[in-house]
Structure 1
Amino acid sequence: MQRLTNQVCLITGAANGIGLATAELFLREGAKVLLTDIDAEAGERQAHRLREQGLNALFQQLDVTCPQAWARAMETLRERWGVLDVLVNNAGMALLADVEKLTLEMWRKTLAVNLDGVFLGTQQGIAMMKARGGSIINVASIEGIIGEPLVPAYNASKGGVRIFSRSAAAHCARQGYAIRINNLCPGYVATPMIRDGLTGLPSEQAQAFQDYLGQRIPMGRLAQPEEIARAMLFLASEDSSYMTGSDLVLDGGYLAQ
């Protein structure tokens, strides 16, 4: 049995990485998916590829920091499918700079995408879902639980996502909306964000970081996006029906030691 049959889903940051893997899995589980991303060319290409496989995929460009863009995305859902059942706030970014080198511009840009975007999406999602319920999955990170010297803005943004989601989840439950809001907290995943971040480092520093991860992660490897997508499916489906305001950590054992 497909676990998301006829469920209407919106996924941000869906042109690649975790977002794209999640969109593909949801579609194969019977969902109708609006893929969104700031990268219109890549997003359209992926949605076209998925439609050619007979899957119910649609793409719309979305700048998650823009309230008007969110309103347009929700209007698209109303016109196309009428409802929203699952929202995945996945879009994110990371800029490498320690606290001494981080600029205010870098700080604000990171929080705008990673935290403001989640706030705007969650608020719009609640408005669409409160009459019939649904699931909102906010992608945080183990970096919202621990601190890493090279990503203080990312740490702050993901920590904010975790606490914000708890507040919103408690509100929805108390209001009787039947909306579940949970955090998915991946560790290090083999995605373009990780690859691009390493590319921006001097070669010796990039290699040292990769060696460090190989030793630091008990399972000895980065996660694959598809592994994270399967956890998304759990949070999106009725399998997690009694779970809200919680963190689901997938980190290969990183936080276990």
Structure 2
Amino acid sequence: MFICPICNQKIDKIDKSYKCKNNHTFDMAKSGYLNLLISNKKRSKTPGDDKEMVIARRNFLNTDIYEEISKSVNEIILKLTNNKKMKIIDIGCGEGYYTSKIKEKIPNSEICGIDISKEAINLAAKTYKNINWVVASALNLPFLDNSIDISLVMFSRFIPEENFRLLSKNGYLIVVSTDDMHLIELKKVLYDKVKIESVDIVDEAKDYFIHKETKKVNYNKKLTSNQEIMNLFNMTPYKWKTKKEAVKRLEKINELEITIDVKIDIFQKMEKK
């Protein structure tokens, strides 16, 4: 189901490489992932999360503090697959926590995790087997048109037209995004004025998808060590936009109750006009 990122032709696996009819060749990394990200002068040589963020995310997610989010997503996917073998992609999969949980629940389906961060995909490939791991951009996903049954976008960049292109007829899109109160306590420590930033996913998708349902996941958890608190901070975009004095405040805190507040929007692909 992969396509060449250079000429958009189908690529086939030959031993440990993938090759298209124009002889563009892409080798599998030793850890087991495929890099289909074409270099771009306007982009960093190492785009996406760096090693520190990837390790912080792995350590935080392995505490299962976000497990309820994973369970809710898996329940939706189980219902949509209805025991049928399907092709599912996780766009912006990071180090693979959520992707691996999906594979555990529906082992008969073909799962692919995609992220622009080579560090994240490398760690995912080393840890979780029987999943296709690919370095690629959400702007230019390396899949054939109409080849994917379910597309999952979790806390990542959402490109409606690209998801529409690759989804099969009546295919499903699941978008997980933060709601108004998500990590509000962390924000209050970091910023004098807390901005409520919400994105209207349904409006963004309206030209390509039929909105079926919104599910909400809302609960509280207590972080009981500064290490947990800093892992959470370092895996979020706040790491890049927080002043040093605010980070120092956070480094002195050993307990923090946080609100997990997310939306799960379920869409179905529209018929072509």
Q: Give TM class, smaller chain.
A: 0.3 to 0.5
Larger radius of gyration: 2
User: Whose helix fraction is larger, Structure 1's or Structure 2's?
Assistant: 1
Q: What is the TM-score of this pair, normalised by structure 2? A: 0.46
